[in-house]
Amino acid sequence: MELKFTVAGRIAKPIEEVFEAVVAPDRLSQYFTTGGARGRLETGAEVTWDFHDFPGAFPVLVQEVVPNRKIVLQWEADGKTATWTTVTMEFSPLDDGRTLVRISEFGWPETEAGLTSCFGNCEGWTGMLCAMKAWLEHGINLRDGFYK
């Protein structure tokens, strides 16, 4: 059984603003990467993300960026087996001016540890969408103090 998931949410902001909130490290650091993000998400870049709940910056490899449409990322799922997961974020404008953000991830080893990591990342991306919505729509940082 392949370990994979997709989560989605609607943000009441134009697609350009929602997309920029993900690719710009200063914006991403405002609501998601509690320890900070370094580097803009651009095709071929390697950036770092740091979280208080998972201390220590880790590399994120940017495979593809299509402005206002799609971001494809990869990172190591398990340092022992050199397994990489792939994350695809898709942005779609809605007729009412909102933006649909869909995040999919796959690539974990089919082990107990892989299953645990898959569930953890599903939780993390769901939290990211909730935090992005609260920050973009209301200026509230849901993750502030959540992990310290």
Per-residue model confidence as pLDDT tens digits over 83-142 = 789 999 999 999 999 999 999 999 999 999 899 999 999 999 999 999 999 999 999 999
Q: Can you give the three-state secondary structure of 100-116, one letter per residue?
A: EEEEEEECCCCCHHHHH
Question: What was the pLDDT predicted at 78?
Answer: 65
* Residue 15 lies in domain: 4-138
Per-residue model confidence as pLDDT tens digits over 29-75 = 999 998 899 999 999 999 999 988 777 888 999 999 999 999 999 98
Per-residue pLDDT at 79 exceeds 70:
no
Burial of 126 (0-12, 13-18, 19+ CB in 10 A): middle
Residue 133 inside a domain? The answer is: yes
Residue 94: CB atoms within 10 Å:
12
Residue 146 inside a domain? The answer is: no
CATH number, domain containing residue 18: 3.30.530.20
Per-residue pLDDT at 148 exceeds 80:
no
Q: Collapse the DSSP code of 13 into the 3-class scheme (helix H, G, I; strand E, B; otherwise coil) and give the result.
A: coil
Residue 145 inside a domain? The answer is: no
Question: What was the pLDDT predicted at 135?
Answer: 97
| Alpha-carbon 129 to chain mean position | 8
pTM of the model: 0.94
Residue 148 inside a domain? The answer is: no
Q: Give the contacts of 145 (CB within 8 A, at least 6 positions apart).
A: none
Residue 58 inside a domain? The answer is: yes
Question: What was the pLDDT predicted at 80?
Answer: 58
Question: What was the pLDDT predicted at 83?
Answer: 79
The DSSP 8-state label assigned to residue 12 in this structure reads: S
Residue 130 inside a domain? The answer is: yes
